[in-house]
Structure 1
Amino acid sequence: MSNVDAAEIRHFSSLASRWWDPRGEMAALHHINPARVRYIENAVGGLRGKRVVDVGCGGGILTEALAVRGATAVGIDLAEASLEVARLHGLESGIKCEYRCIASEALADEAPASFDVVCCLEMLEHVPDPASVIAACAKLVKPGGDVVFSTINRNPKSYALMIVGAELIAGLVPRGTHEYAKFIRPSELEAWARAAGLTAVELRGMRYNPLLKSASIGNDMDVNYLMHCRRDAA
């Protein structure tokens, strides 16, 4: 696939063995995950019995949480090392998920309109062409189904907090995880979603508190934010 940044794949592959260490380099992801899952569950009207795909699943932190809520969860990623960790953790936890090393675009061609819910969280800012991934997500979801995106806004505040603060000073996120030019404004995300046939239902901010080791959903979209979209039922 052309929509792949080899440096990003190498970066996340190098972190594979630490995905499930709640006190390690991926700790922030563990801290924000409960808030993300609650938001998704409320936005889509419950997860039980629904078929869900987690696009850019990494080590499966979100994928497993979706399965615990009753979803039939599939995680896809292009970092095979991360997927192996996800599969191994699934064996240890007893939580059944399916993991595949496949691009969202390829899966959309293979299995269009086959998921009730599509999640693409903290992934769009890591690909060369986010609009292509958004179009694939729209193709993957069933008519009337839900798509939830999350990413990082592009402005001086997000640069100061996510790159200078979180990566370079506090070490909350591994260095090199983010590139400011790839951050996405809500208006850009909404435009790409609309072009793909999705309607934006809700836009919410997500604030992370490293001292409390938790996240909350609110109205501040200056840094992290989520967008809930729906595909036309027609």
Structure 2
Amino acid sequence: MTETTINEAEVAKFTAMAEEWWDPTGKFKPLHKFSPVRLGYIREHALRHFARDGATMRPLEGLRIVDVGCGGGLLCEPLSRLGASVTGIDASERNIKIAARHAELSGVDVSYQATTSEALVATGAQFDIVLNMEVVEHVDNVPLYMKSCADLVAPGGLMLTATLNRTARAFALAIVGAEYVLGWLPKGTHDWHKFLTPDEIRTLLSRNGLDITAETGVVYHPLADDWRKSRDMAINYMILAQKPALD
């Protein structure tokens, strides 16, 4: 395979911070704060789409989920606890080692692989749910990346894409505010020019045979110190799409 989605500089950036993935007060503190709303959205739509009983201890039992660009496994572990068969992939071998070590120490069953979405597609793997969470703004060859993620979705399955909008507000808050003023993220974590608008994501999803089924913005509430769903998609947003089932 000659085409790749790997941006070596981005991989190196996150590899350098790998030891801090599970420190809720460290460099990944914003993701720890962000995780509850992401997990709630995944759970909500997985239960609805696959007609699962949310009152059970392991409502996602038997569902195959892949988290593309999983980092240290912040989403993988709780989804595994909900019963899903979870695979986490990341281009950084260091991230995968950290994730695997933490899962082992926590007694959580997650399959981790140091690989890319396009390489996983080449194996013929498909999943009921593909998570594409805060990754698309860090890769090269976005069309190839989105196609490979879509190819990983099994017929009748779902893909959830979460990213940052390319707006002036996103630049002011997600870069100037989060990186330079508040220090929530290391400087240089994001490049505003690599952000994608909802219309661009919708186009890429549709081009690759997926139908948009839901979308939401995600906003920070400073007084409560938490993130919540919102109609406002000007900064952070999530788009859910479905691959048509086979006749």
TM-score by length of 2: 0.91
The match for 2:215 is: 203
- Answer yes or no: is the 8 Å Cα contact 1:152–1:183 preserved in 2: yes
AA aligned to 2:195 is: F
Partner deviation per Cα, 1:131-175 (whole Å, 9 max, x = no partner): 212111211111010110100000100000000000011011121
Match of 1:61, SS state, is: coil
Q: CA deviation at 1:210?
A: 4.9
1:53 to 66, 84, 101: 66
The match for 1:152 is: 164
State percent identity of aligned pairs: 38
Partner deviation per Cα, 1:82-119 (whole Å, 9 max, x = no partner): 1111011011111110100111011012124x211100
Is residue 177 of structure 2 the alignment partner of residue 175 of structure 1?
Answer: no
AA aligned to 1:196 is: N
Is residue 37 of structure 2 the alignment partner of residue 35 of structure 1?
Answer: yes
Residues 70 and 79 of structure 1: is their aligned pair in 2 closer, same or farther, counting only changes over 3 Å? same
Match of 1:233, SS state, is: coil
Q: Distance in 2 between matches of 1:70 and 1:213?
A: 29
Q: Distance in 1 between matches of 2:44 and 2:142?
A: 25
Q: CA deviation at 1:44?
A: 2.1
Structure of greater relative contact order (alpha carbons < 8 Å, 6+ residues apart): 1
Q: CA deviation at 1:54?
A: 0.2
The match for 1:86 is: 99
Is residue 130 of structure 2 the alignment partner of residue 118 of structure 1?
Answer: yes
TM-score by length of 1: 0.96
2:108 to 68, 81, 95: 95
- Answer yes or no: is the 8 Å Cα contact 1:28–1:210 preserved in 2: no
Q: Distance in 2 between matches of 1:162 and 1:7?
A: 20
Q: Distance in 1 between matches of 2:199 and 2:160?
A: 15
Q: Distance in 2 between matches of 1:100 and 1:208?
A: 32
Q: CA deviation at 1:20?
A: 0.3
The match for 1:69 is: 82
The correspondence of residues 184-195 of structure 1 with structure 2, limited to 5 A, is 184-195=196-207
The match for 1:162 is: 174
- Larger mean CA deviation between 149-158 and 206-215 belongs to 206-215
AA aligned to 1:3 is: T
Match of 2:228, SS state, is: strand
Aligned residue pairs: how many?
233
Which entry has the higher C-alpha Rg, 1 or 2?
2
AA aligned to 1:120 is: N
- Larger mean CA deviation between 211-220 and 50-59 belongs to 211-220
Q: Distance in 1 between matches of 2:186 and 2:95?
A: 15
Is residue 107 of structure 2 the alignment partner of residue 107 of structure 1?
Answer: no
Give the CA RMSD over aligned residues: 1.2
Q: CA deviation at 1:41?
A: 1.1
AA aligned to 2:136 is: L
